[in-house]
Structure 1
């Protein structure tokens, strides 16, 4: 029997800017959700008693707002496309800037009754022994970066886009074989924290010896808020190749093999409803109340599962962002035999499945620019006469299937095809790949909810509905990870049931219904796509190891 994950907190939110939220002559309890994504940090502030209050969220973009870090896409440029790392100093400066903007806009931060957050999964932050002492004595007269960067034993943090650990993955697979997938929910994955830590310990042994603790980005920022080291929740902890999902504790054998002494460097793994601590006095300068409860943070994908109201089985979620992800709550614990899909903890309890497609908006943007189209024109040109052109959209290294050397491959004459055909071929191929690689979940989803920046595309929503033959819904808040964090805070700290929060914040605002007449066409194209993918040299139906 698999253990049952206890329920956890949810976040949601609209952020009040200049309007103080008042009801019945008094301030009401507000809940704050924060999301650290690849390209920026966002906040959602909600009033569960008055969901319509507020006027949108607050955001800081790394490229636009912190150009001094030279990371327009959220990571440090590197000539090796397999290496992708971010500067924690940039993240910390973004947090100070975000809270300053909220304060200066009049957001009623003193009325916040609870906080939680989400962060891009798999990113690790390696810290020296001084970290707890510095956290407990943060000086509000200095910035977070000034005080905490000296605690970093590894100056830059590898993020989810990093693919430089193929050798370490092979070593883990050779040692543990299929047990890794069966018990941690995933095979050894290049971007996961375990292989990243193993590479760090091998290539920088002195820096690793100087490392007293290794946090995920989620637990690192929860620690910063609390002024003390925070645990890791099951949702994000599962993305490390280290958490045994059958026991819900770090697997001592796997962790010890990954790096010498690693078990003692990992934070405790806990249910997602755990209260990590109270808000540090450092944040009083922005108008918060010290001691405000902070629920443990989670990963952005588990957070989004809550933020779109899909914490229970039956609703799939398609997140259309820098990468595309397909995820859903699971009825039973099982893993992808092909090794592309992953299992994480569901913040509402139990488990969730997830598949990541690295060539999401990165590929869409590449084609848009190549075709010389505006964003509006890109969406407009997709309903074209229905050719059945396909391509393998590997404009950057791909996760599903694993492709370390990028290069799109075309099943038609790409160069001479008009823009309309190229755009439609890309979008249809992306969604067909999603359908192909989600089949292991053995679930006929009655509804699919879409989120992320590209979810605004009516044409893309139409393709998803027709390929999957499922209704496709959108919700009002596009920042589902930030909203999920706010809903988790309202649940864990305020005791508000998830189903009540879903009804208030996650009701669909648009529905795209499938066209049954297109089913046969897409079934035919799915088989053609399967054959095209299987024929690609070096990737035929097996993970590259």
Structure 2
């Protein structure tokens, strides 16, 4: 945890030494990687509130955390806690209906449950549990910042429709958990003025407002300026979909989160592990490792591939949970191979058809004004994007999303700031 605090100290010191004028900042927000958690020791609120501007913040807070090393999204050691949580609320689908997702090992509720079960003394010494996002907001606020709806819906704990903690989920994870989490708030909430520490140490204006921080994925949705009906598709090593949804239907695959821009709407997240690595493998096998040859083969076949369809999973897929290469001809018969150009189109059409099918299962609807915003390595290939456009029957645009979570945080700060002054 202290590494994060020290990193923030270093960034701000670099900005200060470069002459950045902190007094001009009117509002700030931010983002943290989803699902990670920070455990504040009893008595830490007073230390945070009274931080001396004479010391770097990581010195002041060095004894404030009951858990020194934060669990983050890469932790997958909570399978038994996930099983217990799903059982406690009546099954995986019922948990998804409540919280937007079935139980996932990286989700915060299951991480908290593990800490409580393995070290109840540490849990009892904890007065507040933050997400990474609300932890960072707390540093700027000089007080415990609440968890926002959007990042809070990645915990397996929040009722995504009512925007309150689920008592049955909390009870299944740890005792007295509600008071350790605090009440969740809308993602556009202005939490208060910046702390005196930052005013004295860096020269921030006392009028600078702290806006609720959120998760990196919700912040990216804001940064890409998605609107109702839009889809953002990152075509990278893994393929990821961000969707703006009005009427969600939670499923066993994918995630429904509260929308960080519109509290009455939702966002969905779908991740497909067999992305660019799968496309590159078929390129090597069928097009001599050449994207030009790959593209020519793709355009030499017709949309629909004459009924030939393939599912290509070199590694265990996330959505759906499946592995292996499965090819079917126009008569729905399983076959062992396709001609090279048919193989290439079967791969690309199959990948994009799967994305549309799983998106629609979560409640997404293609609308007349739907736009597809594509980014990532494969978004540079116009022939691949044409297939994407054909499958969704919508125009595709490419976008540069470098630092989209940071940009989204800045947009959200502006949004909240103008809401309070108007």
Band of TM-score, shorter chain: 0.7 to 0.9
Gaps of 5+ in 2: 302-308, 328-337
Q: 1:152 aligns with which of 45, 65, 78?
A: 65
On the 8 A contact 1:393/1:409 being kept in 2, the answer is yes
1:474 aligns with 2:398: yes
Aligned-residue CA RMSD (Å): 3.6
Q: After superposition, give the CA deviation of every residue in 1:457-482 in whole Å (9 maximum; x if it has no partner).
A: 34554453344232122345532222
Q: After superposition, give the CA deviation of every residue in 1:157-203 in whole Å (9 maximum; x if it has no partner).
A: 22233332222121111121243222222222222111121122112
Q: CA deviation at 1:294?
A: 0.7
Separation in 1 of the partners of 2:7 and 2:97? 38
Q: CA deviation at 1:483?
A: 1.7
Secondary structure of 1:273's aligned partner = coil
Secondary structure of 2:126's aligned partner = coil
Q: 2:359 aligns with which of 435, 438, 442?
A: 438
Question: Alpha carbons of 1:357 and 1:151: their partners in 2 closer, same or farther (altered >3 Å)?
Answer: same
Separation in 2 of the partners of 1:95 and 1:159? 18
Question: Alpha carbons of 1:378 and 1:496: their partners in 2 closer, same or farther (altered >3 Å)?
Answer: farther
On the 8 A contact 2:278/2:313 being kept in 1, the answer is no
On the 8 A contact 2:109/2:156 being kept in 1, the answer is yes
Secondary structure of 2:419's aligned partner = coil
On the 8 A contact 2:372/2:394 being kept in 1, the answer is no
Separation in 2 of the partners of 1:228 and 1:320? 39
Separation in 2 of the partners of 1:350 and 1:181? 19
Map 1:56-455 → 2, pairs under 5 A: 88-177=1-90, 178-284=93-199, 285-310=201-226, 312-320=227-235, 324-332=239-247, 334-336=248-250, 338-347=251-260, 348-357=262-271, 359=273, 364=276, 382-386=294-298, 390-394=311-315, 399-402=318-321, 409-411=324-326, 430-440=351-361, 441-445=363-367, 446-450=369-373, 453-454=376-377
On the 8 A contact 2:148/2:187 being kept in 1, the answer is yes
Please state which structure has a larger fraction of its residues in helix.
2
Separation in 2 of the partners of 1:203 and 1:299? 27
TM-score when normalising by structure 1: 0.63
1:494 aligns with 2:414: no
Separation in 1 of the partners of 2:245 and 2:17? 42
On the 8 A contact 2:244/2:268 being kept in 1, the answer is no
Q: CA deviation at 1:384?
A: 4.5
Map 1:38-49 → 2, pairs under 5 A: none
Separation in 2 of the partners of 1:146 and 1:392? 48
1:465 aligns with 2:389: yes
Length, aligned pairs only: 392
On the 8 A contact 2:229/2:364 being kept in 1, the answer is no
Separation in 1 of the partners of 2:420 and 2:344? 44
Gaps of 5+ in 1: 1-87, 498-545
Question: Alpha carbons of 1:369 and 1:179: their partners in 2 closer, same or farther (altered >3 Å)?
Answer: closer
TM-score when normalising by structure 2: 0.80
On the 8 A contact 2:235/2:276 being kept in 1, the answer is no
The structure that has the greater radius of gyration is 2
Separation in 1 of the partners of 2:317 and 2:100? 20
